[in-house]
Amino acid sequence: MSRRDLLQGLAAGSLLSVLGGTYALADDDTARRARAEKRADGRPRLPPGQFPIQYLRPMGGREGDPSYGKFKLRVHGEVAAPYELDFASLLKLPQVDQTCDVHCVTRWSLLDSHWRGVRVADLIARAAPKPSARFVIFEAALGYTSNVSLTDATKPNVLVAHQTEKRPIPIAHGAPVRALVPDLYFWKSAKWLTGIRLSSRDEPGYWEVRGYSNHADPWKEERDG
Ligand SMILES: Nc1nc2c(c(=O)[nH]1)N[C@H]1C(S)=C(S)[C@@H](COP(=O)(O)O)O[C@H]1N2
Ligand SMILES: [Mo]
């Protein structure tokens, strides 16, 4: 599909089939506004090369066990006090309700999505990270991982999320919990999360070893490695 067709599709505000998927595009005004708006940090609301869609699209991946009863999250690695949390214990920690945008490398962005969960920074602080810890490896079902620097992973908008749009996260989107790293391309947001592992060295994850960018900043269009 040419860029011109893509833009015409955007202008129509319709369903658009592009890059192997169908998306419910956000209406014209939303797209126009998002292109004009600036974020609190001064960056444009919509990163370059992205178009807004209306609701989260399941992008696949190999699902984990969706059972809340069996759920365990391990916080471990380069920490003095590793621990495990079950789902009930996760809910007892301070909860954050957050509205944010997410950006997929396939060029869709979902604006104003709602999430509830626990800050990754809080979960990590509780494990007493060693000074040698510099990277966070999000560990998910069936060996999926994503790597994020400790600095990026402990930003206040990075969550272990268990609800989206005021409902439990659907299985296709990562139930019982997923990582949410809104300001990096969405592949960093590991679904079916089972662990947060701190590491002294960087460990490129599932997509990072397959040619995607190690850092994945949407505003720099860090798509490829
Ligand atoms: N465990 C796991 N997490 C994953 C993936 C995956 O394949 N497995 N895919 C990633 C990719 S490439 C994207 S774009 C987002 C998609 O999230 P969604 O399906 O909720 O839209 O999840 C990310 N998290
Ligand atoms: Mo993706």
Selection from 192, 149, 168 nearest residue 61 by Cα? 192
Q: Residues 23, 12: contact at Cβ < 8 Å? A: no
Residue to substitute in 101, 103, 191, 213 for testing ligand 1 pocket (most ligand atoms within 8 angstroms of CB): 191
pLDDT at position 31 is 84
Q: Answer whether 47 contacts ligand 1 (Cβ < 6 A).
A: no
Structure tokens at 125: 């602080």
β-pairing, 159-164 vs 167-168, is antiparallel
The CA angle 119-125-126, to the nearest 5 degrees, is 100
Per-residue pLDDT of 127-161, as tens digits, reads: 999 999 999 999 999 999 999 999 999 999 999 99
Q: Indicate if the pLDDT at residue 19 is higher than 90.
A: no
Whether residue 149 contacts residue 222, with contact meaning beta carbons closer than 8 Å, is answered with no
pLDDT of residue 25: 87
Which residue's C-alpha comes closest to atom 1 of ligand 1? 191
- Domains of the chain in start order, with CATH, are 3-220 (3.90.420.10)
Whether pLDDT at 17 is above 90: no
Question: What is the per-residue pLDDT across 22-61, written as a single tens digit (0 to 9) for each?
Answer: 678 888 888 889 989 999 999 999 999 999 999 998 999 9
Which pLDDT score, from 0 to 100, does residue 24 have? 85
Would strands 108-119 and 51-53 be described as parallel, antiparallel, or unpaired?
parallel
- Split at pLDDT 50, 70, 90, the class of 15 is low
Predicted confidence (pLDDT) per residue in 149-206, tens digit: 999 999 999 999 999 999 999 999 999 999 999 999 999 999 999 999 999 999 999 9
pLDDT band at 91; cut points 50, 70, 90: very high
What's the pLDDT score for residue 16?
A: 53
Q: Which residue has the tokens 């190999």?
A: 62
192 Cβ below 6 A of ligand 1 = yes
